[in-house]
Structure 1
Amino acid sequence: MAKFQGQKIWGAAALAGAMLVTAGCTTGADKPDVVTSPPSDASAHLVDARGADRGRVDIYRTSSGLRLEVVARGFAPGQYGMHVHSVGQCAGPDFASAGGHWNPTSKQHGRDNPQGAHHGDLPNLVIDSGEIGRATVNLVGTRLDGDGALIDADGAAFVIHAGPDDYRSDPAGNSGARVACGVITRG
């Protein structure tokens, strides 16, 4: 009987050792806290007038249009207008080179404007404490390429303004100066 109990102990120890060796062979993809995202179809690196990093916008094609995922850094708490602009240029210090809002359907500005809203209108970016803001925006019926698409012959840019968009004033929602800009590029 004593010999049998000893074999049980050694067998259990061998099994535990094998489990430890196997556990040490996991990869980063096996860990639940590692999140991987598919590559974006387009993106924009946001900078301020001094060229400092202010965040990123990733754009993904969806079955209904485009999804924009915004991460903005270095902003004080508050609300900021954000828009897609019609020209793929971001020359500082005022980013006027980005042109007006992207408006392929010739609408007026603002979701609360009875004559609006155009495709470049987006909700305000809300920055809570911590100086980082995140937003996900779905542009239903919008294409990345082709006739009337986001990226046309002169490109497009993503702009964050100094103040909140009032959602009705044409042409820019009374959202103030352009404080961050990024040229939208494919992949």
Structure 2
Amino acid sequence: MQTGKSLLLLTIVTITLFGCQDRPQEPEMNEESQEEYDAIEVDKGEKETRESLEIELIDGEGIQVGIATLTEESDGVHIAVAAHHLPEGMHGFHIHEKGMCDTPDFESAGGHFNPGGKNHGFDDPEGPHAGDMVNLEVHADGTAEQIFINDMVTLKKDVPHSLFSEEGTTLMIHADSDDYVSQPAGDAGERIVCGVISKKEK
């Protein structure tokens, strides 16, 4: 009888031990782990609040010929252009200082966005304008897909070089290529495509 009780007690202890092993242990949250967790949460929050907007690009007749998507990243504003029905070749591509795209010539957009008072062009020792960017390449079929990174501007409001200025800003594609040195606009020719980034504040 004593042997039977001993076996029963041994069985209960064994089951109890295995049952405890099956339960996953909760990890202890030490100070270092908490800091890592907080950093992940902050990073997640920053991604969710990242500035981004989509710009309609129109030609001189007011017809939409593309879209530009602007996103604020850690290395500057990324501008992804997807356009069509454009003349083949290299074209000057800039940010202009006024948020108006009045057809047909887009002169309402003013000059290049230049809050720093610089000269035009990457090859000018006193340049470039904040709105200067590399040329846009249009393929033989009239399409263009290109991403630009401008680290001289921001989509954040009420800070220096913000594209949400008092006068607003625009994106502009020119008929010819930018030579990166001629004043005031790189000898890039007529303005053929325009897109309002932000409108003049009322």
Segment drifting more, 116-125 vs 143-152: 143-152
Is residue 2:201 matched to residue 1:169? Answer: no
Among the aligned pairs, what percent are the same residue? 36
User: Which position in structure 2 is the counterpart of 1:93?
Assistant: 104
User: Structure 1: any 5+ residue segments left out of the alignment?
Assistant: 1-38
2:163 matched to 1:150? yes
- Name the amino acid aligned to 1:180: V
Kindly report the root-mean-square deviation, in angstroms, between the aligned alpha carbons of the 2 structures: 1.9
The corresponding residue for 2:196 is: 183
Per the alignment, residue 117 of structure 1 pairs with 128
TM superposition shift of 1:42:
2.2
Q: Looking at both structures, which has the greater relative contact order when contacts are Cα pairs under 8 Å and sequence separation is at least 6?
A: 1
- State the shift of 1:82 in Å: 0.8
1:69 CA drift (Å): 0.7
What's the TM-score, normalizing by structure 1? Answer: 0.75
1:48 matched to 2:59? The reply is yes
- Following the alignment from structure 2 to structure 1, what is the Cα–Cα distance between the partners of residues 104 and 192? 9
Contact 1:66 1:142 (C-alpha < 8 Å) held by counterparts: yes
**Mean Cα displacement is larger for which, 177-186 or 124-133?**
177-186
C-alpha deviation, 1:64, in angstroms: 2.3
Output aligned runs, 1:57-96, within 5 Å.
57-96=68-107
The one-letter code sitting in structure 2 at the alignment partner of 1:179 is I
Question: What's the secondary structure of 1:88's corresponding residue?
Answer: coil
User: Structure 1 or 2: larger helix share?
Assistant: 2
TM-score with structure 2 setting the length: 0.69
